[in-house]
């Protein structure tokens, strides 16, 4: 199934954008909010609108809410889940002990308290005519970012989360979201488990999406984002240990190629991923990371177009999207804004070079 873009190399961000200083602490992955109550709710929505405008001004083809309403891409979802104790967070090594995080604990059967992202999704939909992408954490990555005191079985818990994700995803589809992307950085850490059950759990989370007979009459595209993490020091250090060739994708992509998920967002520019691994995603749209999120240096349009040119050797032109390597949340606002412009200008240059 092709999602048939109308322009070559449509541009999008992976998901998150920096929060303005009046909304939350800056340059942090788990920032503290600067307000509370209704004031905080309003500030989150104001920041969402601001970033939609800036993404449009930069010239992006697909826009998102920049994850302005969630403190962190995983915990934002968990806050609306019953059965999780947020009062007593515990320290846990996550992503195979790459770094420690304070995580909430699963203490009872999981159930959604209600809608998770309705307000910001509906606000975004009402204020842009561009394609709208919305991100949710993938089941395997959630399981790796929460402490289990109840299920005692990773796979069982992942499928429990997948059901809840599916409920929210179907509701987002009905809200008019065009693309729902599940973020699964954990796939790049637990490759065998990802192929064994992670992709299946992901398909459970995406069940019923993209079906035109959906009750709302709307069908959205499904995507998964798999990266080597945010540009934080722990990830930069980890990447140093991965050697000259990063071949993690080689173990996951064949399972994804067989799956029902339509788009795959991956890390490319400045990574050590052999570009030919993109060939393993035959039949999928490929969102190629052409913007480095671990460096404040702004890419030139030429560099972005060069990366697109490299990817074109392995991905058909009508399947290639230009994207960021990962979210931009921990960066400065100015840098993020300049990178959005570089992304759009680079894709425009690639259209000239390689033909629209
Ligand atoms: Zn990422």
Give the separation between CA 288 and CA 321, rounded to whole angstroms. 6
What token pair was written down for 306? 């060069």
Write the pLDDT tens digit of every residue in 32-90: 999 999 999 999 999 999 999 999 999 999 999 999 999 988 988 999 999 999 999 99
pLDDT of residue 215 exceeding 70, the answer is: no
Is the alpha carbon torsion for 21, 343, 202, 131 positive or negative?
positive
pLDDT digits (tens, 9 = 90+) for 226-249: 999 888 888 888 998 999 999 999
213 has a pLDDT exceeding 70: no
The string of pLDDT tens digits covering residues 307-317 is 999 999 999 99
CA distances to 169, 177, 202 from 221, in Å: 11, 9, 14
**pLDDT (0 to 100) of residue 231:** 81
Output the CA 50–ligand 1 centroid distance in Å.
22
How many Å lie between the centroid of ligand 1 and the Cα of residue 289? Answer: 10
Higher pLDDT, 75 or 305: 305
In this prediction, what percent of the chain has a pLDDT beyond 90?
A: 87
- Is residue 281 scored above 80 in pLDDT? yes
Q: Rounded to whole angstroms, how far apart are CA atoms 173 and 216?
A: 8
* E strand residue ranges, the chain: 62-64, 81-94, 99-112, 131-137, 147-148, 179-183, 221-226, 263-266, 285-291, 320-324
Q: Residues 253, 199: contact at Cβ < 8 Å?
A: no
Q: Which of 236, 263, 352 is nearest to 304 (CA)?
A: 352
Distance 128 CA to ligand 1 centre (A): 24
Is a pLDDT exceeding 50 seen at residue 2?
A: no
pLDDT for 355: 85
Report CA(285)–ligand 1 centroid distance (Å): 17
**3-state helix/strand/coil string of 101-135:** EEEEEEEEEEEECCCCCHHHHHHHHHHCCCEEEEE
Instruction: Compute, in angstroms, the gap from residue 217 CA to the centroid of ligand 1.
Output: 31
3-state SS class at 24: strand
| Placement of tokens 């393993």 in the chain | 280
pLDDT-derived band at 216 (thresholds 50, 70, 90) equals low
Q: 58 is written with which tokens? A: 């930069």
Q: What average pLDDT does range 263-290 have in this prediction?
A: 97
Cβ-contact 266, 273 below 8 angstroms: yes
Ligand 1 midpoint to CA 308 (Å): 19
Above 70 in pLDDT, residue 138?
Answer: yes
Whether the per-residue pLDDT at 294 is higher than 80: the answer is yes
Largest interatomic CA distance in the chain? 56
User: What is the Å distance from ligand 1's center to 229 Cα?
Assistant: 5
Please count the other Cβ atoms lying within 10 Å of the Cβ belonging to residue 152.
Answer: 8
**Beta strands in 113-262, from DSSP E residues, in sequence order:** 131-137, 147-148, 179-183, 221-226
Q: How confident is the model at residue 96 (pLDDT cuts 50, 70, 90)?
A: confident
On the question of pLDDT at 223 being above 60, the answer is: yes
Distance from the alpha carbon of residue 290 to the mean position of ligand 1, in angstroms: 13
The answer to whether 265 and 223 are in contact (CB under 8 A) is yes
Gap from CA of 256 to ligand 1 centroid (Å): 17
Asked if pLDDT for residue 326 goes beyond 60, the answer is yes
Mean pLDDT of the chain: 95
Q: What is the pLDDT of residue 211?
A: 78
Q: Ligand 1 centre and the CA of 329: distance in Å?
A: 10
Strands 147-148 and 81-94: unpaired
How far, in Å, from the CA of 338 to the mean position of ligand 1?
19
pLDDT tens profile 159-210: 999 999 999 999 999 999 999 999 999 999 999 999 999 999 999 999 999 8
Ligand 1 centroid from CA 27, angstroms: 16
Rounded to a whole number of angstroms, the distance between the first and last alpha carbons of the chain is 21
Statement: residue 297 has pLDDT above 90: yes
Please choose, from the candidates 216, 221, 54, the residue with its C-alpha nearest in 3D space to the C-alpha of residue 135.
221
Query: How does pLDDT run across 104-119, given as a tens digit for each residue?
Result: 999 999 999 999 999 9
* CA of residue 324 to ligand 1 center, whole Å: 9
Interval between CA 106 and ligand 1 midpoint (Å): 24
pLDDT band for position 5 (50/70/90)?
low
Confidence class of residue 356 from pLDDT cuts 50, 70 and 90? low
CA distance linking residue 331 with residue 295, whole number of Å = 9
The per-residue pLDDT for 303 is 98
CA distances from 205 to 161, 170, 173, 339 (A): 8, 9, 13, 31
Residue 1's pLDDT band (boundaries 50, 70, 90)?
very low
- In the reported structure, the alpha carbon of residue 215 is separated from the centroid of ligand 1 by a whole-number distance in angstroms of 32
């Amino acid at each position: 199934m092709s999602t048939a873009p109308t322009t070559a190399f449509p541009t999008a961000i992976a998901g998150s954008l920096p929060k303005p200083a009046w909304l939350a602490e800056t340059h942090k992955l788990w920032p503290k909010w600067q307000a509370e109550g209704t004031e905080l709710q309003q500030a989150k929505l104001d920041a969402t609108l601001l970033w939609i405008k800036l993404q449009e001004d930069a010239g992006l083809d697909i826009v998102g809410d920049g994850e302005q309403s969630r403190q962190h891409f995983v915990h934002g979802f968990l806050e609306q889940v019953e059965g999780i104790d947020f009062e007593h967070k515990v320290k846990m090594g996550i992503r195979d002990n790459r770094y420690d995080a304070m995580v909430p604990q699963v203490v009872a059967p999981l159930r959604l308290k209600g809608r998770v992202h309705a307000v910001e999704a509906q606000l975004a939909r009402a204020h842009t005519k561009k394609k709208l992408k919305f991100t949710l954490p993938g089941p395997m990555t959630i399981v790796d970012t929460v402490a289990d005191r109840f299920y005692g079985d990773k796979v069982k818990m992942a499928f429990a989360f997948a059901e809840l994700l599916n409920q929210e995803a179907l509701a987002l589809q009905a809200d008019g979201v065009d693309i729902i992307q599940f973020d699964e950085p954990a796939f790049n850490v637990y490759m065998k488990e990802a192929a064994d059950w992670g992709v299946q759990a992901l398909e459970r989370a995406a069940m019923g999406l993209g079906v035109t007979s959906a009750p709302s009459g709307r069908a959205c595209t499904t995507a998964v984002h798999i990266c080597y993490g945010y540009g934080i020091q722990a990830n930069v250090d980890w990447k140093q240990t991965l050697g000259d060739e990063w071949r993690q994708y080689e173990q996951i992509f064949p399972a994804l190629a067989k799956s029902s998920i339509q788009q795959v967002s991956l890390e490319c520019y400045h990574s050590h991923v052999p570009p030919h691994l993109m060939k393993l995603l035959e039949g999928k749209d490929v969102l190629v990371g052409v913007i480095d999120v671990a460096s404040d240096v702004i890419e030139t349009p030429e560099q972005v177009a060069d990366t697109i040119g490299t990817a074109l050797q392995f991905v058909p032109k009508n399947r290639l999207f230009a994207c960021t390597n990962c979210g931009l949340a921990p960066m400065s606002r100015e840098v993020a804004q300049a990178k959005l412009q570089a992304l759009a200008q680079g894709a425009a240059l690639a259209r000239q070079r390689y033909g629209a």
